[in-house]
Every structure is written in C-alpha cells, then in structure tokens.
Structure 1
Amino acid sequence: MFGTLLYIFSRLLFSFWIYPIRAHLKLKRNGFGGPSPNFPLGNLKEMRKISQEASSVSGSSKISHDIHSTVFPYFATWKQSHGKVFIYWLGTEPFLYIADPEFLKAMSSGVLGKSWGKPRVFKHDREPMFGNGLVMVEGEDWVRHRHVITPAFSPSNLKAMASLMLESTNTMLDRWADLINSGNHEIDVEREITGTAGEIIARTSFGIGYENGRKVFEKLREVQVTLFRSNRYVGVPFSKMMCPKKTMEAKRLGKEIDDLLMSIITARKKDDSKGAGNKGRDLLGLLLEGNGREGKTLTTRELVDECKTFFFGGHETTALAISWTLLLLAQHPEWQNQLREEIRQVTKDKELDVAMLAGLKKMGWVMNEVLRLYPPAPNVQRQAREDIEVKEVIRIPKGTNMWIDVVSMHHDPELWGKDVNVFKPERFRDDALYGGCEHKMGFLPFGFGGRMCIGRNLTSMEYKLVLSSILTRFSFSLSPAYSHSPTILLSLRPTLGLPLLVNALS
C-alpha cells in the first residue's frame, strides 16, 4: 500500500513540477523568454484573468477591425513585453508563440510536411471532433491520407459539385425573398449561410440529404461548443478527470457522429458492391474509389475521421468567410456595386458557370482581404518531430509545440502599413497572392508549407458561387441590432450573430 502511494506521489511530482521545470530551463537556455509559468497550471490562470478583463468590454455597436486584442487579449498583452516570439505554457505543455514571419520562414525552411505534427495535447483534447483525420494525423500516415484524398479535390471533381452548391444557395435565397415579401428585412446571415454551407458539404461530400446532414452538423456544433466554450484545463496532467462532465459529453457526441457516418459509409459500400453506388459523384465516392490505389489504403475508421474533418472544415471555413464578407460589404456599399458590375461583365447576363469564376478578379481581392482581416482559421499549430535549427543560432527541441498567431500577423502594421485595419481589397490588385505584405509568410489564410489546407480551392469556388448569387439578387446594410463580437470558438466567428437588413434588387 505504501509503495503504491509512493509511486502515485512520485508520478504526480514529476508530471506536475519536475518535468515541466526541466523543460522550462532548457528552453530558457535556448534563448526563449516569455511570461513566467506557475506549474501545474502554467499560464492558464493569467490567460483567464486577462480574457475576463477583455470580455467585460466586448460586444459593441462600433465596428473596429483591429481585433487582435479582442480575440487573443493575452497574446496582445504578452507581445508588448516579450516580442513576437516567446514561450508560454498551457498547464505543463510549453508552446512557442510565433507572430514573426521571418522567424516562421527560417524555422520551417526545409522541413517536410510529414515532419510536422499536431500538438499531442490538442490531438487528445479534440479527438471527438476530428479523430485521426488529415488535420491531426502525421508522419507516414499523413502521407498516406494525403495521397488518397488529394485526387478528390481535382478541378474536374470540384466543377461537378457546382450545380449542387448553386441549388442549395438558391433555396436559401428564395427563403430570404419570402421573408422580405412578408416585411421581415432583418436576417441573421451568419446562421443562414452556416446552415446552407452544412447542407452543401453534406450533399457534395457524402451525397446525403438534408436531414442526415443536419444531424451531423448539429452534433459537430455541440462538440465545438462543449470543447471550446468552457473553462477547462487543457495541458494540465489528468485534466479530463478535472472536467468529467464535459469530457463525457464530448465523447458521447463524438460517438454519435461516428455511428452516423459509419452507417453512411457502410451503406455506400454495400450499394457500390451491388453496382448501384454513386462513386465519383461526391467526395466520399471519390475516396472509396481511390482507396487502395497504388497500395495506399484508408480503413473504415480512418474514412469516418476524414468525413468528420471534411464536414467541419468544409462548411465552417467557407461559411465564416462569406459571413464576414457580407459584414464588410454592408459597411462598404460601393464594393457591393463594384462586384455586381464585375459579375455582369463576366456573365454577360447569362447563368453563372464555374468557368467564369476565374474572371471575378475583384471578388478574389475581396475574399483575400476578408481572410486577412477575419481569418476563419485564426492560428496554426505545429509540433516539431525533430530538433529544428533556426539560422544556426536557436534550437527548437524535438517535441516543442508551436502556436502561429495568424490574426496578429494579418493585423501587423509593420507588414501591411498604417492602414492595416482598413478594409482595402485593392491592396491585392497588383500582388494577388500577398497583397503587398512586406513578407510572404505574413499572409497565411490557409496555413503554410506541406500541410497547407487541402480544401482551399473548394473554399474559393464555393465562396464565389454563393457570394455572386447573393449579390445578383439582394443588397444589404448593417442592422442596428448588430453588435460586433468576434471571438474564438476554434474558428473566428461573430458570437452574437450577424443580423443585416436585406433588400431585393429590382
């Protein structure tokens, strides 16, 4: 009995204090500063205190695009004291904070995509939501997953999805027209577009109807809220035991999503074996068709995890990009007019076709500027799977977690100029990819390197199709009920919704 207690005590001692203190000293010797941690909580207590102080003034009728201190108040505070690269701690897990594109470039130079991993603390925490899908898997497994998935995102396959996207969008817009005709001009566009994007990804990815798609969508949102809208102790040893109710709720929801997707995949495989399937018509069909090609195979369990990843990532990023776009266009009606004129010139009053999307240059500028000001993916996380030398001066030890602050770099006046917080799509006119940013690593709407988002072309296509459809039928302006409340719930979203006043064009 005494030996058991001694073992437990020694394990707690090492997990809570000795190991993290050793790691802290090693990182300090390698030249990294940062806020002082207090183990076993690290900097969590300070982060919560700073966040609570910031939240007391959040939600405002005044719209400012200078959002870094709102969505990441603790990083904004620490940057003033420790610069753009420093170490902070989630419990006993050290994170290298990076908001310096030159450091990021030097750090990632020559590192292969398979050599990066995801912080294990996040992999364990977010398992109910993503499992071992592409955003979480690593090493040779990442290479295998990427090999099977990439062909599904070919231009020809994406083009085949366009008609379904337009069909779902027109259903939403017909509903808006009915609301307006009944005298209701105020519409929460974020809620509407998120729902439609969920329907689009359900149909284009899995060939499933509205009802099953809605079930997956609602359960994923419940998991998202359970994991990210609660005071938990991510990074603290045995943290799941400290929040058992939240842990069990996330696990239950994750299991329900798995069962639903498993039944969809099993039914599709059964149909395919009878020659009655839909292979090639949607992403799931393409995955099943490509599975096993050149010896690269995904198990059914891995297919479920990829489906969860597609479903969440495939609708969330696009829906939020369009929602933030409508907010900015509501503030700038002159850009609504410019985009409508561009659509007319490109389509020549004919029905919009995928082949026409490349001609929507100004819409591309607007999309990039929105992704700069309000990046749906506000950060990128990595974990080194080998020691990394930075300019032969600094060594990042194997296993180090990294947090790349995309919001900070996208709002850095040293990179973008004094007008950094101004909506200015024309900054992308002459340098379409980087918008005149002083550093190519300063604009990361879809991540960077070998692990860049595989669905970025799908997002761009859906964005242009949906936004073009909205602009040709409606104009919109800010509602007095709108309260500016950008916040992080894994993604960057308007917490209090996005009500706009919508009017049909004559």
Structure 2
Amino acid sequence: MAAAVVLLLALAVALLLARAAWVTASCYYLTPARIRRILAGQGVRGPPPRLPVGDPRPGPALAARSPAGDMGSLSHDIVGRLLPHYVLWSKTYGKLFVYFYASEPRLCLTDTDLIKEFLSSKYAHATGKSWLQRQGTKHFIGGGLLMANGARWSHQRHVVAPAFMADRLKGRVGHMVECTRQTVRALREAVARSGNEVEIGAHMTRLAGDVIARTEFDTSYDTGKRIFRLIEELQRLTARSSRHLWVPGSQYFPSKYRREIKRLNGELEQLLKESIDRSREIADEGRTPSTSPCGGRGLLGMLLAEMERKKEAERRAGGGNGAGGLGYDAQMMIDECKTFFFAGHETSALLLTWAIMLLATHPAWQEKARSEAYAMVEAKVALAMLLSSFRFAISDEYRHAPVNVLTLRPRHGVPVRLLPLRP
C-alpha cells in the first residue's frame, strides 16, 4: 500500500516536472523558433536569439563604439550611443527586423507608413504592451492607460481623453502661469544665492509636477512633492528589478529591490487613496476644491465620475458587472493616478529641460523666441485690460479691405467705437 502511494506521488511529481519542462521548452524554444520561421518566410529576419535570455545586449565591440562617458561635443546624432545594437542590426538585417527579449518577439519598424498602418485600429488586437512590460511595471504604474491593451485601453482612453481637450486646457492656463511665476522667482533666488549657473532640470521637474498635481488632481504642493519623490524612487528601482524578468519565475524571487518597491508602492498608494477620498468628499458635499482652476473637473474628477457610473450600472444590472469588466474600481483609480502623475510630469519636465538646453546652445533662437513670447504676452495683457475697460463696436466708417504688405493688414485701418464699462 505504502509503495503504491509513493509510486503515485512520484508519478504526480514526474508529470508536473514534465509539464513544467514542456511549457518552458515551448515558451522559450519551440514558439520563438516557429515565429522566426514564419517571419523569415515573409522576408523579415533578425539576430539569432540566445534563449532563454533572448538576443544579446551590446557586447564589448559595440560597447567600445558607444562609450559610457560624456560626448565630446553637442550632437543630435545620439542613436548609435544609446542603441548601438539597433544600429548594427538595422544595417545587417534592413529597416524591418525582429529580435527577441527572452521569449517575446519584438518587431522593429522604421518606415513611417508601415508604423502608421500597424498602429491603426484594425491591428489593435495585435498591438499593446507585452507580458514582460506589464510585469515589469506592475508595482510602478500598474494597470493604468500606458499598460492597458485592447478593449480596456480603448475604454480608459475614452474616459481620460476629455481632460486634455483644448477647451479644458485653456481653463488651466491661469494656474500654469502662476506656477511658472513661482518657478521664475525660484530661479532668480537661485541665481542671487549661488551665481548664474543653475541646474535647470530639477526646477522644470518641480514646475511640471506642480502643474499636473494641482490642475488634474486637486492636490496640494506638499502632497504632490511626496508623490513625485516616491514615483522617482519607484522608477529607479523598477528599472533595476526588471533586468532579470527573463528568468522563469523571477517575479516570485525575494530581493532587496522588490522589498523596497513593495514598501514604496504601499506608501504611494496610501497617499493617492487619501487624495481620492478627499476629492470624493468634496464632490459629495457639492463644493469645488480651492486648488482647482477648472471647477474640480480635472482628471481625478473625471475618474471619480466614471467610477460612480460603473457602480450605478452595476446596481441597475442587479449586482452584475454593468460595465462589462472595463469600468474603474478603487485599484484601477490608483493605477491611473500613478500613470498620469508619472507620465504627465515626466514628459513635460524633460521637454522643457531639453528645450532650454537647445536654446542655451543657440543664442539666436533665444532672441527670436523671446521676441515672439513678448509679442504674445503683450497682446494678451493689452486685450485683457482693454476688454475689462471697454465694450467695442465697429464704426460705420470702417471699410473692409485687407491687403498683404508682408503681413495681412487693413488698408484703411479699423475704426471702432469704444464704450467705457465704468465711468
């Protein structure tokens, strides 16, 4: 009897091991080989993968061509420095090639027409973020818009897109101007304190962070600072911990990075939950947050409204999933907040930082941009003051005769009647 039990247990273990071996072989060897054969039949080739790792990272020869030190001069030709393996593979295999990261095939496109076609809606089922990408950012931005695929991506994009429409962005201009004034004051103080040299990146990061925190999330400056500090730490640790995701089961291995990520993520989610609860309380009381320049209808307000719509749909469906599994729950709300706190300030901060670098490199561009900026600001201020003082009406003497004299001008001027609003 005991021998039979031992035999059954041994058989069960053997079957489990055989299944694990088959799944591993299929995932890391058989499926990639089949994909390579299919693509090769269509004329798409690439470097042979070193499974299970995938295609090798740049070796010593490529590293020698791409030094880790500073560039000798300011140059826009940086692709060979950042991605030397892509440069080599594109020269070897052409503009369209495939390589593997672990078991995942990655198709590299450089033809703009092909990229547009591939990103069109008819290929939505085939595009999106891979398992490795989503696993690598699981505790960073979770299931937010950047990591969503298919129907879920379409739904989330539909929900958040109105927050970034032109008419809504216009309503945030006043706050953006105020945030920029604060940054200018901080830069003036920095120059007075330590001379003319200032590291501009940190100031641009604070500026972009302040704008996104206050306009879209009704969050105080201090809370926003804590959130961005945690996001920056999570970003750094996530990049390190993701290097070994190609190892099967590595997501379950304990490590100091994962422990720290878990701690920071818990702290970040608690801060975001407090901000969400505060906004919900304000919405329930029918008040408008004093920090919001757009009537409390920033991105967070829209996400809360979508969450309430899902709850209402579920109630009408008798407790079922009235949103078809695509609506926002508490965790999805937090993930979306993390996504836009990160993406909303990171992209803008880097854009401003690189733009200032380019302007600092080309003084002639500065003068041109400065004159254009002065003209725009002057026009807006003048119009604002005139509109607050007068009502305008076109004169009976006006004759409409626009002419092109380098610029478009009224041939006979624009006579108007001014009606003072206040005596």
Question: Residue 314 of structure 1 corresponds to which residue in structure 2?
Answer: 344
Aligned residues of 2:306 and 2:328 also touching (Cα < 8 A):
no
With over 3 angstroms needed to count, the CA separation of the structure-2 counterparts of 1:252 and 1:84, relative to structure 1, is: farther
Report matched runs for 1:223-302 at 5 Å: 223-229=234-240, 232-241=243-252, 244-278=255-289, 280-289=296-305, 291-292=307-308, 297-302=327-332
TM-score by length of 2: 0.75
Aligned residues of 1:39 and 1:91 also touching (Cα < 8 A):
yes
Structure 1 position 40, deviation (Å): 0.5
Report matched runs for 1:164-243 at 5 Å: 164-229=175-240, 232-241=243-252
Match of 2:369 among 333, 336, 339: 339
Question: Residue 397 of structure 2 corresponds to which residue in structure 1?
Answer: none
Aligned residues of 1:87 and 1:97 also touching (Cα < 8 A):
yes
Question: Residue 30 of structure 1 corresponds to which residue in structure 2?
Answer: 42
- Name the aligned partner's letter for residue 27 of structure 1: L
Q: Distance in 2 between matches of 1:31 and 1:246?
A: 42
Report matched runs for 1:27-106 at 5 Å: 27-43=39-55, 45-47=56-58, 49=60, 52-53=63-64, 56-106=67-117
Structure 1 position 128, deviation (Å): 1.6
Find out whether 1:18 has 2:30 as its counterpart.
yes
Q: Which moved more, 1:23-32 or 1:48-57?
A: 48-57
- Aligned-CA RMSD value: 2.8
Q: Distance in 1 between matches of 2:243 and 2:169?
A: 39
With over 3 angstroms needed to count, the CA separation of the structure-2 counterparts of 1:146 and 1:50, relative to structure 1, is: farther
Structure 1 position 230, deviation (Å): 6.3
Structure 1 position 289, deviation (Å): 3.5
Q: What's the secondary structure of 1:47's corresponding residue?
A: coil
Report matched runs for 1:381-420 at 5 Å: none
Aligned residues of 1:114 and 1:142 also touching (Cα < 8 A):
no
With over 3 angstroms needed to count, the CA separation of the structure-2 counterparts of 1:151 and 1:50, relative to structure 1, is: farther
Match of 1:304 among 330, 334, 340: 334
Structure 1 position 16, deviation (Å): 3.2
Larger RCO (alpha carbons 8 Å, 6+ apart): 1
- Kindly provide the CA deviation profile for residues 209-234 of structure 1, in whole angstroms up to 9, marking residues without a partner as x: 12211111111111211122567134
Aligned residues of 1:93 and 1:235 also touching (Cα < 8 A):
no
Q: What's the secondary structure of 1:318's corresponding residue?
A: helix
Aligned residues of 1:114 and 1:143 also touching (Cα < 8 A):
no
Q: Distance in 2 between matches of 1:332 and 1:272?
A: 48
Question: Residue 392 of structure 1 corresponds to which residue in structure 2?
Answer: none
Structure of larger gyration radius: 2
With over 3 angstroms needed to count, the CA separation of the structure-2 counterparts of 1:114 and 1:252, relative to structure 1, is: farther
Aligned residues of 2:201 and 2:353 also touching (Cα < 8 A):
yes
* Count of equivalent residues: 353
Question: Residue 359 of structure 2 corresponds to which residue in structure 1?
Answer: 329
Q: Which moved more, 1:246-255 or 1:163-172?
A: 246-255
- Kindly provide the CA deviation profile for residues 324-373 of structure 1, in whole angstroms up to 9, marking residues without a partner as x: 1111111111110001111222233654999xxxxxxxxxxxxxxxxxxx
Aligned residues of 1:50 and 1:74 also touching (Cα < 8 A):
no
Aligned residues of 2:140 and 2:265 also touching (Cα < 8 A):
yes
Aligned residues of 1:164 and 1:204 also touching (Cα < 8 A):
yes
Q: Distance in 1 between matches of 2:120 and 2:162?
A: 27
Q: What's the secondary structure of 1:99's corresponding residue?
A: coil
Q: Distance in 2 between matches of 1:9 and 1:321?
A: 48
Aligned residues of 2:191 and 2:198 also touching (Cα < 8 A):
no
Q: Distance in 1 between matches of 2:382 and 2:42?
A: 56
Report matched runs for 1:439-450 at 5 Å: none
With over 3 angstroms needed to count, the CA separation of the structure-2 counterparts of 1:107 and 1:176, relative to structure 1, is: closer
Structure 1 position 164, deviation (Å): 1.8
Structure 1 position 49, deviation (Å): 5.0
With over 3 angstroms needed to count, the CA separation of the structure-2 counterparts of 1:41 and 1:116, relative to structure 1, is: closer
Structure 1 position 291, deviation (Å): 4.6
Q: Percent identity?
A: 31
Q: What's the secondary structure of 1:182's corresponding residue?
A: helix
Q: Distance in 2 between matches of 1:327 and 1:352?
A: 31
Structure 1 position 176, deviation (Å): 1.3
Q: What's the secondary structure of 2:98's corresponding residue?
A: strand
Q: Distance in 2 between matches of 1:47 and 1:233?
A: 16
Structure 1 position 147, deviation (Å): 2.4
Aligned residues of 1:280 and 1:289 also touching (Cα < 8 A):
no
With over 3 angstroms needed to count, the CA separation of the structure-2 counterparts of 1:223 and 1:230, relative to structure 1, is: same
Structure 1 position 113, deviation (Å): 4.8
- Name the aligned partner's letter for residue 316 of structure 1: E
